[in-house]
Structure 1
Amino acid sequence: MATIALWQPAPNEIVPATAKTPFAITDYALQLSKKDKQQIVAAFDSGHFEMGVTYLWGRTINALKKELSNVGVGLIGEMLGRTDVDEDDDINDILTEREAIRLAEELGVISSTDGMRLRHTYELITHFSQMDSDDGDLEKLNSHEALASLQTCVAGVLGRPKIEVATKFIEFRAALESKSISEDDPYVEMLKGSPYFFYKLTISVLMNAAKKNVGANLEHALANINTLVPALWDNLRHTERWQVGHAYAEAYADGKTTVVGGLKSALLKVKGFDFVPENLRSDTFVKAADAVIKAHEGLNNFYNEAAAVKALTRLGTTIPTPAFPACLSALLCVTLGNEYGVAWSAQAYAKSILDSITMERWAYYLNNVLPSDTRIFGKFSSQKPRANFVELVNAKNLSQVEFKNKTVQQLVEAAARSNESKLASIAAKMHEEYYGKLVKI
């Protein structure tokens, strides 16, 4: 049976191997002005590598976010699980650098290799920006790291006259909003056999369409919700089920009777009203979790995380179920840290909530959320987050959870045995299960 494949941009050779100097590499940066190029080259030539790379990074991430905004800010919010985002929001306010890179990979704007290199560049910038001034005199970004960062930014982003979101994504989204798909449409069977990423993307597109569309486009969106939600429901994880239920609760609170009717019909078909929150109290927790993520993935995260996590703890340790996936994911980000370590000032606050989580709730997260929590299992490519996960699994005795997902069970058991290489290998398997095998088109 045919499936939908994750698209990837063709390998780019924008910067040839012969370009080895800052001047030669920036010459291929079509999105940089002449003045930008001159400033970057001058910073590199004078040995001010951190200043040059930081300036370069600002131009790179702004170009990436600008292109992502073309798919719709509201949809970006849905893909991030952000209930408070609409089309009028500024893309720079809702996307962290890491989120921008991840979404760019998912939507085929950049290749997975470019994504990996861009993340490394961002981590370098973050690392050196967080160093104490005394340490900074001894350890500085060197010329090789700076040149590699320059090549990464130009080859992955700035060397293209305009980065275009993959045509397949545009067609995918347009089909869900512009025509009604019947139950026997080959597209339905194709979607059902595709990697989980496309389930999540379909739900995000449809919920966003129900929220923002009117007239014929709204009718098509609601018709497709009633076709595709029942078709996918049995295989949807709880994060996406809560997303549908929240959309219903939000539409009901806003008095959108047409949307309420369409979503109610779909939820009745799947007996899905268990996933409709009784009220929107969970939004407060989700927003607090978003603030933790923003602090964790932003610059100076080791300084900024504590205040954000403390604010989450003040809401109470009884987290509403609809907000639980977002909150635990945020707390795990703080607990696992990144390849440079953790924010020690935030650990006690995070621990106070993690200690209150029951084994049943850990089972809920591990079985129903972690398999699609790319932010968390993506951390296991770095040694320190792996080691921290091993410590967490053993401290919480998570290997005793009743597992329903075999891959997650293998992941936790590898951690329980302190087998970090196996843990990294299984995390890579989870990536493939979520996205499917990458193919070039």
Structure 2
Amino acid sequence: MSDLTLWQPDSKELLPASAKTPAEISNYAVQLSGRDKTQIVSAFESGHYEMAINYLWGKATAALRKELSTVGVGLLGEMLGKTDVDEHDDVDDILTAKDTIKLAEELGIVSSTDGMRLRHTYEIITHFSQLETSDSDIEEIDESEAISSLKACVKGVLGRPKVEVAKRFIDFREALDSETLSEGDQRVEMLKGSPYFFNKLTISVLMSAVKKNTGANLDHTLANINTLVPAIWGNLRDAEKWQVGQTYAEAYADGKSTVVGGLKSALLKVKGFDYVPENLRSSTFLKAADAIIKAHEGLNNFYNEAAPVRALSKLGSTIPTPALPACISALLCIVLGNRYGVSWSAADEAKGILSVITNDRWVYYFNNVLPGDVRILEKLSLDRPATNWCALMKQYQLFDLDVKNKNVGLLLAATKSAELSRVQRFASALIQEYYGKKS
């Protein structure tokens, strides 16, 4: 095998089509105890579907987080772009439900189809948990939704024995700050031929490590930055190049001379100083974008989204280029919403910010960010967000911009004609392209 690959789940059928009742389906949940199965079946038989699904969901996410923790909490933080996470943190404290599903899918613990079904289950749970008391007396989870959720949790998580996840990349990641790789090292060549996901993750790992490491580990990290950054620089998109430049600027501002020297050497090799921001204003925008995502993906999101969007709008009318990817992605999350709709107050504020983004900056987003913006691409698989996407693109007339990526071009063409099935198909193609998976 010449490149890094995601671990692929066993393709055999874990839940036969003949399993239709809660008792039959639960019987295939090998990670549940007999007592757990009995409680779930009893809740179903009593018509307490919301209670059953909430209990089941707790078991499924706990199993996923336990499995994810085997790769190291630090790596999980790096995959999420969280710089304040280390191995001493509790995995339950740093991973939201959506983070858990996203990482499980990226590391190949669950398939993209299972990931979609798990996200749907989570959205059902959060939707009904957020209903006002008067509404919850009228609207409740019905049996078919509960059965679908039970199947999703068993097929995606609880029906699988424990697996070894992404070992090839984990070994590679550990080498980044424990040994110095040479230019001719097989692992360097392996990275150069890998899907973009691994290039992006490697940059995140290295930039996070250079902020945390000291002594010999820092020496290894800086040496590997000087080997790997030049090796993959030509393949990197601007978002990752700005990440390297931003890390240099922060180290310079903090007076970390050793780090500054190592990063400067790497940037000189690739003529990368165009990607070093003149000031650290972008850090404030990045934190604001992160706050929007946290509100959007948390509980009571329709209520909680307005405040962080308003906070971003007060930072100024021009978003610094290094923060542009995160900010546009966060704002699109608010405008596109989820399968249940959008927070109108937050969406109107977000549209106000997006409305002043110039066409050249949208071109930048489409060419350098959207091909790897899985959060947005996954939203386009849902009818309501995809419809909102088409309306937004029409409002801003963004169909005929100079887009280099073939699938992004096809996505915008489908958007122009508001063909949701084609929008969804090309969004899926971009996700497959990003992870290097075959459709």
Paired with 2:242 and 2:169, the residues of 1 have a C-alpha distance of 24
* Higher alpha-carbon deviation: 147-156 or 221-230: 147-156
Kindly provide the amino acid, as one letter, of the partner of residue 363 in structure 1.
V
Q: Which stretches in structure 1 are left out of the alignment for 5+ residues?
A: none
TM-score by length of 2: 0.91
1:31 positional shift = 4.2
1:286 positional shift = 1.6
Paired with 2:81 and 2:69, the residues of 1 have a C-alpha distance of 16
1:122-271 matches, cutoff 5 A: 122-160=122-160, 162=162, 164-271=164-271
1:404-415 matches, cutoff 5 A: 404-415=404-415
Kindly provide the amino acid, as one letter, of the partner of residue 190 in structure 2.
M
Paired with 2:121 and 2:261, the residues of 1 have a C-alpha distance of 48
Paired with 2:22 and 2:349, the residues of 1 have a C-alpha distance of 44
1:9 positional shift = 1.9
Structure 1, residues 122-171: CA drift from partner, whole Å, max 9, x if none? Answer: 12212323344444344321223212322322332234454543322322
Counterpart of 1:416? 416
Q: Which has the higher contact order (CA 8 A, sep 6+)?
A: 1
1:433 positional shift = 1.5
Structure 1 vs Structure 2 CA RMSD: 2.6
Structure 1, residues 275-330: CA drift from partner, whole Å, max 9, x if none? Answer: 22333332222222112112212232222222222222232332222211111100
Kindly provide the amino acid, as one letter, of the partner of residue 317 in structure 1.
S
Paired with 1:164 and 1:190, the residues of 2 have a C-alpha distance of 20
Counterpart of 2:9? 9
Residues 317/176 of structure 1: CA separation in 2 closer, same or farther (3 Å cut): same
1:90 positional shift = 4.2
1:331 positional shift = 0.3
Counterpart of 1:383? 383
1:34 positional shift = 5.5
1:57 positional shift = 1.2
1:323-334 matches, cutoff 5 A: 323-334=323-334
Paired with 2:20 and 2:235, the residues of 1 have a C-alpha distance of 50
1:84 positional shift = 4.1
Residues 87/247 of structure 1: CA separation in 2 closer, same or farther (3 Å cut): farther
1:14 positional shift = 4.6
Paired with 1:86 and 1:311, the residues of 2 have a C-alpha distance of 28
1:197 positional shift = 1.0
Counterpart of 1:426? 426
1:11-410 matches, cutoff 5 A: 11=11, 13-15=13-15, 19-32=19-32, 36-160=36-160, 162=162, 164-410=164-410
1:243 positional shift = 1.7
Residues 405/155 of structure 1: CA separation in 2 closer, same or farther (3 Å cut): closer
1:200 positional shift = 0.8
TM-score by length of 1: 0.90
Residues 87/221 of structure 1: CA separation in 2 closer, same or farther (3 Å cut): same
**Alpha-carbon contact 2:289-2:330 (below 8 Å) kept:** yes
Residues 77/320 of structure 1: CA separation in 2 closer, same or farther (3 Å cut): farther
Paired with 1:12 and 1:50, the residues of 2 have a C-alpha distance of 30
Task: Give identity over the alignment, percent.
Answer: 64
Paired with 1:6 and 1:69, the residues of 2 have a C-alpha distance of 17
Structure 1, residues 359-417: CA drift from partner, whole Å, max 9, x if none? Answer: 22111111111111111112111111111111111111112423233332222122122
SS in 1 for 2:399: helix
1:109 positional shift = 2.1
